[in-house]
């Protein structure tokens, strides 16, 4: 597209791309006049406000006297002057509550130490006023190019934070106060803040572990993401007949889910895995360029990320033509039982790793029943053996939230060895994958890959399956498909 002036200059309006049209002085003058005020209507306080305040109070008490910086991150170049769609860093979103459509690249949230805690300061690139050229010249920030951003006042009203112009940041940071920064998100800020690797690692660890127990706002947002994803799974099943009619039908299925993610949410929470036939045995199959063939299974791992950035993470494995073969059902039932066992292990006071161990008992037993384990299931389950892991070499779940693999900077004792608490949201996702060249299995089993993944809330009394609306048992899956495809 032709621009009136500059390329992605991050605020400067002097760079001119080869295909840009020169601007006459007369036009510059003309663009300054004749604009009516255009305030945003209906800016009201966001429901995240009481919750983000509690999070900030907690981190403030932990890091007394230190300046804390959470960058939103910057636009990332896809190619030449095209950027990827912007997605703010999760810590920035979590401490501010700012939703995707209000996030401005290159923003910073700073918690500035005060005598009795910290004062939150949000630095943003606000709406471009009509008295400079940015609004029509700047392809990265100009309103004519990327749309209206909020003013400082509008942002303050919506998120109850004190808001400043990002242009003042260099001066603000020039006092070199002791600072903890989420590093690696904004190269300009990384350069301005003296690095202390150990302290920053501890900081990252603390703010990561803080997210393990979800508050009510988060649980509600997660349920929205999951419900939208459940609708996205129905969209995909409905499109199976069309997907089987063309080459690269996996793309047809992938696109159906993406439509739902964009309609109801911000984006996919992660690249969808749409794996038909033996592609299901490739754990991170995201090329999604295979054919979808009747008679095969199709494994789909997908999640809608809602505007608040919370994401679902759900996997189902469907028979493309609506009916499992006996071999497919045999593998499916191993995974089904493993998942049931994993979910049953969830209750306050259990350890996170108990979930995987419970799943593994069923995976090992299943392999034994199919006659492919050279030793007994019990022997295989001993730490020094683990032969059954040939058919499920990934873990059986993880924390889920604003990141699909949430709490990623937790240490082992804070994660797999930790006790489960009400409010945690976890996935349970065992699988069984018979590689197409696995000669331990008879021919009809080779290339069958099954995973079932659900999103589970730890409750006071046990577990609630937030994604329960999507059927899991093979009979229910067949009935569900028959209804959608009739």
Binding site for ligand GLY (CB under 6 A): 270, 301, 313, 398, 404, 429, 453
Whose Cβ is closer to Mn ion: residue 375's or residue 408's?
Answer: 408
Q: Which of 186, 254, 301, 455 binds Mn ion (CB under 5 A)?
A: 301
Q: The dihedral of CA 250, 254, 259, 264: what is its sign?
A: positive
Residues 181-210 interacting with Mn ion (rule: CB under 5 A):
none
Out of Mn ion, ligand GLY, none, what residue 154 binds, judged by CB under 5 to 8 A for its kind, is none
CB of 315 to Mn ion, least distance (A): 5
CB of 352 to ligand GLY, least distance (A): 15
Rounded (10°) CA dihedral 336, 337, 338, 339: 50
Q: Which of 13, 313, 403, 455 binds Mn ion (CB under 5 A)?
A: 313
In 84-217, which ranges are E strands?
108-114, 117-124, 162-165, 179-181
Q: Which residues of 261-295 are buried (b: 16+ CB within 10 A; e: fewer)?
A: beebbbbbbbebbbbbbbbbbebebebbebebeee
User: Residues binding Mn ion: what is the number (CB under 5 A)?
Assistant: 4
CB of 411 to ligand GLY, least distance (A): 20
Whose Cβ is closer to Mn ion: residue 311's or residue 368's?
Answer: 311
Span interacting with Mn ion, options 200-208, 254-262, 296-304, 322-330, rule CB under 5 A? 296-304
Q: Which of 185, 244, 340, 427 binds Mn ion (CB under 5 A)?
A: 427
3-state helix, strand, coil in the chain (%, to 5): 40, 15, 45
CB of 305 to Mn ion, least distance (A): 13
CB of 457 to Mn ion, least distance (A): 15
Whose Cβ is closer to Mn ion: residue 97's or residue 430's?
Answer: 430
Whose Cβ is closer to ligand GLY: residue 225's or residue 404's?
Answer: 404
Whose Cβ is closer to Mn ion: residue 330's or residue 467's?
Answer: 467
Rule CB under 5 A: is residue 317 a binding residue for Mn ion?
no
Phi, psi of 68 (to 5 degrees): -115, 130
Span interacting with Mn ion, options 138-146, 242-250, 311-319, 332-340, rule CB under 5 A? 311-319
Whose Cβ is closer to ligand GLY: residue 120's or residue 269's?
Answer: 269
Tokens of 404: 């699909």
CB of 332 to Mn ion, least distance (A): 17
Q: At what angle do helices 216-238 and 474-485 cross, to 10 degrees?
A: 60
Whose Cβ is closer to ligand GLY: residue 323's or residue 389's?
Answer: 389
Tokens of 394: 């990934």
CB of 254 to ligand GLY, least distance (A): 13
Q: Is 433 helix (H, G, I), strand (E, B) or coil?
A: strand
* Structure letter (DSSP) for residue 311: B
CB of 315 to ligand GLY, least distance (A): 6
Whose Cβ is closer to ligand GLY: residue 305's or residue 453's?
Answer: 453
With vertex at residue 379, the alpha carbon angle to CA 450 and CA 390, rounded to the nearest 5 degrees, is 30
Instruction: Determine the Cα–Cα distance for residues 14 and 342; give it in Å rounded to an integer.
Output: 59
Looking at the DSSP bridge assignments, the partners of residue 315 are 301, 453
Q: Which residues of 45-65 are buried (b: 16+ CB within 10 A; e: fewer)?
A: ebebeebbeebbeebbeebee
Rule CB under 5 A: is residue 403 a binding residue for Mn ion?
no
Phi, psi of 161 (to 5 degrees): -125, 150
Indicate the residue whose CB is closest to ligand GLY: 301
Out of ligand GLY, Mn ion, none, what residue 163 binds, judged by CB under 5 to 8 A for its kind, is none
Span interacting with Mn ion, options 168-176, 358-366, 453-461, 464-472, rule CB under 5 A? 453-461
* Structure letter (DSSP) for residue 453: B
Out of ligand GLY, Mn ion, none, what residue 270 binds, judged by CB under 5 to 8 A for its kind, is ligand GLY
Whose Cβ is closer to ligand GLY: residue 137's or residue 451's?
Answer: 451
Span interacting with Mn ion, options 43-51, 121-129, 310-318, 437-445, rule CB under 5 A? 310-318
Beta-carbon contacts of residue 201 (< 8 Å; ≥ 6 apart): none
Residue 334 and residue 392 in contact, taking contact as beta carbons nearer than 8 Å: no
Judge residue 144's burial from the number of C-beta atoms within 10 Å of its C-beta, 0-12 exposed, 13-18 middle, 19 or more buried.
Answer: middle
Whose Cβ is closer to ligand GLY: residue 229's or residue 244's?
Answer: 229
In the chain, how many H helices and how many E strands? 16, 17
Q: Interface residues with Mn ion (CB under 5 A)?
A: 301, 313, 427, 453
């Amino acid at each position: 597209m032709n621009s009136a002036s500059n390329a992605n200059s991050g605020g400067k309006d002097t760079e001119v791309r080869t295909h840009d049209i020169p601007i006459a002085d007369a036009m510059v003058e003309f663009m300054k006049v004749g604009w009516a005020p255009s305030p945003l209507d209906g800016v009201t306080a966001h429901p995240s406000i009481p919750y983000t305040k509690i999070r900030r109070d907690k981190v403030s008490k932990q890091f007394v006297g230190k300046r804390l910086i959470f960058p939103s991150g910057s636009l990332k170049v896809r190619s030449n002057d095209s950027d990827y769609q912007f997605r703010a860093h999760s810590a920035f979103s979590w401490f501010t509550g700012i939703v995707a459509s209000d996030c401005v690249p290159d923003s910073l949230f700073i918690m500035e130490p005060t005598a009795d805690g910290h004062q939150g300061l949000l630095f943003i690139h606000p709406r471009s006023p009509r008295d400079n050229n940015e609004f029509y010249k700047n392809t990265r920030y100009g309103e004519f190019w990327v749309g209206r951003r909020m003013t400082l006042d509008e942002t303050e009203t919506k998120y109850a934070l004190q808001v400043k112009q990002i242009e003042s940041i260099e001066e603000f940071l020039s006092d070199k106060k002791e600072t903890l920064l989420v590093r690696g998100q904004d190269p300009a800020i990384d350069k301005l803040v003296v690095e202390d690797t150990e302290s920053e690692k501890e900081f990252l660890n603390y703010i990561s572990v803080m997210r393990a127990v979800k508050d009510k706002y988060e649980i509600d947002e997660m349920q929205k993401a999951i419900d939208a994803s459940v609708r996205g799974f129905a969209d995909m099943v409905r499109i199976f007949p069309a997907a089987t009619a063309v080459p690269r039908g996996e793309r047809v299925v992938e696109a159906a889910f993406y439509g739902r993610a964009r309609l109801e949410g911000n984006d996919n929470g992660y690249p969808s895995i749409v794996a038909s036939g033996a592609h299901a045995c490739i754990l991170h199959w995201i090329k999604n360029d295979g054919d979808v063939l009747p008679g095969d299974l199709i494994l789909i791992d997908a999640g809608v990320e809602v505007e608040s950035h919370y994401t679902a993470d759900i996997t189902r494995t469907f028979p493309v033509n609506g009916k499992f073969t006996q071999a497919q059902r045999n593998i499916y039932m191993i995974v089904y039982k493993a998942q049931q066992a994993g979910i049953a292990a969830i209750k306050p006071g259990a350890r996170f790793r108990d979930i995987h161990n419970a799943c593994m008992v069923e995976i090992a037993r299943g392999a034994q029943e199919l006659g492919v384990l050279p030793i007994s299931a019990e022997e295989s389950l001993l730490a020094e053996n683990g032969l059954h892991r040939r058919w499920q070499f990934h873990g059986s779940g993880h924390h889920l939230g604003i990141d699909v693999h949430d709490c990623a900077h937790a240490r082992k004792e804070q994660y797999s060895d930790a006790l489960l608490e009400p409010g945690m949201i976890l996935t349970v996702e065992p699988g069984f994958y018979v590689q197409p060249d696995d000669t331990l299995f008879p021919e009809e089993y080779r290339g069958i890959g099954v995973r079932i993944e659900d999103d589970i809330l730890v409750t006071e009394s046990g577990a609630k399956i937030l994604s329960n609306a999507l059927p899991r048992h093979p009979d229910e899956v067949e009935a569900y498909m028959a209804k959608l495809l009739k």
